[in-house]
Amino acid sequence: MVVRMRRNRSETAKRRSHHALTPVQAAKCECGAARLSHRACPECGKYKGRVVIDVVARAKRDARRAKRREKELKASGQITESKQEKEPTSQA
């Protein structure tokens, strides 16, 4: 059975001509790092010349969370001493 109102290739292509992805527009921060437009810099935490994110506090919090997560995994038995020794060598 044939489709009654079939669209031909050119009509399909014309419709899909607007489906293309646009590249990310990266702006340069005052610190020299690349960042997304209208967003704070992940390296220094500045946006429009003002510090809006405390990068040092965020790094401390992430380290604290990672340590707590590792401690919980050790306690539950999901991670052992031998696994910890193997992981750093595989990343290097």
Separation of alpha carbons 20 and 10, rounded Å: 16
- pLDDT higher than threshold 50 for residue 92: no
Least confident range from 10-19, 66-75, 82-91: namely 82-91
- pLDDT higher than threshold 80 for residue 86: no
Looking at residues 16-40, what average pLDDT do you find?
92
pTM equals 0.51
The two three-digit tokens of residue 35, written as one number: 């960042």
What per-residue confidence (pLDDT) applies to 3? 78
∠ CA 7-9-11, rounded to 5°: 60
Residue type, 51: V
What per-residue confidence (pLDDT) applies to 81? 66
Ranges of each domain in the chain: 24-78
The dihedral formed by the CA atoms of 63, 64, 65 and 66, expressed in degrees to the nearest 10: 50
Pairing of strands 26-28, 50-51: unpaired
